Amino acid sequence: MPQKMLTAKFVESAKTTKTKEVFSDTGCPNLALIVRGTGTNTWVWRGRVDGEIRNITFGSSSVHTLGAAREWATRLTESRDAKQDVIEIVKVSTDKEEFLKGLTCDALFDIYMEHGIAHLRSKGALRSLYNRDLAPKIGKMKVVNVDHDLLMGILRQKHKVAPAASNQLESLLSAWFNWSVKGGSDLTKMTVNPAANIIKLHKIPSRTRFLEDYEIGLLLKAIPQFRSRLAVPTYLLIYLGLRRAEVFEAEWSEFDLDKGEWLIPRERMKNKWPHMVPLVEPVLSLLKAHRAQQASDGVLTTLVFPSRLAKGEKPLTGYSDWVEDLNAKMRWFAMKDGKVVARWSFHDLRRTFSTGLNSMRKDKRRVVDKDIIELCLAHKQGGIQETYDKHDYFEEKRDALIAWSDHIETIKVLFDVPKLPAPLLALPSPEVESAAA
């Protein structure tokens, strides 16, 4: 039996022209890789049990990694040396192998949906993505037959018709299979991640768009022109620099309006850390007015910004059309001033928040420290700071948000903007004039 220090690369590519070759792993006593001419390679533990040489099969090398096989063989050797019943241990391994052989991708995804996703509203979007792009292709396939090349092929097909959506698909595949071999391995019995080396195919261009003060003024002037239910969450994006989902999926239970605090739970945060947001004026007044309006309309729900069509069970949608309406109105205002403004998106408001705070100076000194701005943005700190600095910096974040809100209020005054959006002021709803008008 050839002796060889096995490597993951060798295991993956091992082939033979003979009926069978056996390679004993010098990196792990009693472990060997059986390479067959049929292409089916298996792990085997070879050692003495009760004085007799026993060959005990672990399973296919396409299912179990070298690391998993070494861990299994080591445990089996230790159990044998401790006079434990290795036959029972082998039975458990065999049961695991049989479970994996029958596990389909549909069944694996069901396990992921039930145990791997904490936030309820995330499940609907992920399930829709799976049903549309993955279930028709791999749903009925056995998980052991899914490999890197198959998944990359699916991503390349998606990239041809919807480049940006292919990145969403890659994120789902990576998270799903990563959980299956780590946090959920006790349920899935998986040790090999077929999505380990897949990549995002859509290259996102560097994003540099942010709104200058003049453009912020045009936006603040445009919002009250519409009786839109998206006006209030848009104001929150402007004042707080949060991500769209963090605002649009907010629940009233996260707020303490008396204390002026908003605690966004870790399940809704990109970095998976809870985020405390100080609610400064006029944000606090805006939320109180919004809640009072909901109460008078009899539509108080769990969600702060519920979808009317879903009767409060889903967050507000339609923001793409809303942003286009605002862009059109801003272009019309700018045209009257003899100027042109470029299109912006919701995420550009977050960049505007950061750029605006970073540029604030008083006597040539920063008004807000850069680290505090990063905390307001809920960016992951990392390194030694994240490990040892557990201060919440609530007051520092409040001061930063006050500085930014004061700046916004100054712009409002210059552009003669009402304090509340149209839905809360019962303003008429003028039609959107096109730029051509």
Q: What is the pLDDT of residue 110?
A: 87
- Whether residue 233 has pLDDT greater than 80: yes
pLDDT range class, residue 82, cuts 50, 70, 90:
confident
Query: What is the rounded distance in angstroms from the CA atom of residue 141 to the CA atom of residue 105?
Result: 6
Mean pLDDT (whole number) for 8-24: 88
Q: What is the pLDDT of residue 325?
A: 93
- Whether residue 400 has pLDDT greater than 80: yes
Q: What sign does the CA torsion over 105, 110, 111, 113 have?
A: positive
pLDDT digits 0-9 by tens, 274-293: 999 999 988 999 999 999 88
Q: What is the pLDDT of residue 39?
A: 78
Q: What is the pLDDT of residue 111?
A: 86
0.75 surpassed by pTM: no
- The percentage of residues in the chain with a pLDDT greater than 70, rounded to a whole number, is 87
- Whether residue 41 has pLDDT greater than 60: yes
Q: Which residue has the higher pLDDT, 63 or 346?
A: 346
**Domain architecture of the chain: domains with CATH:** 3-102 (3.30.160.390), 105-188 (1.10.150), 213-425 (1.10.443.10)
pLDDT digits 0-9 by tens, 337-371: 888 899 999 999 999 999 999 999 999 899 999 99
Query: Closest Cα to residue 285, out of 418, 428, 427, 411?
Result: 418
Mean pLDDT (whole number) for 413-430: 60
Q: What is the pLDDT of residue 426?
A: 45
Q: What is the pLDDT of residue 218?
A: 94
Q: What is the pLDDT of residue 431?
A: 38
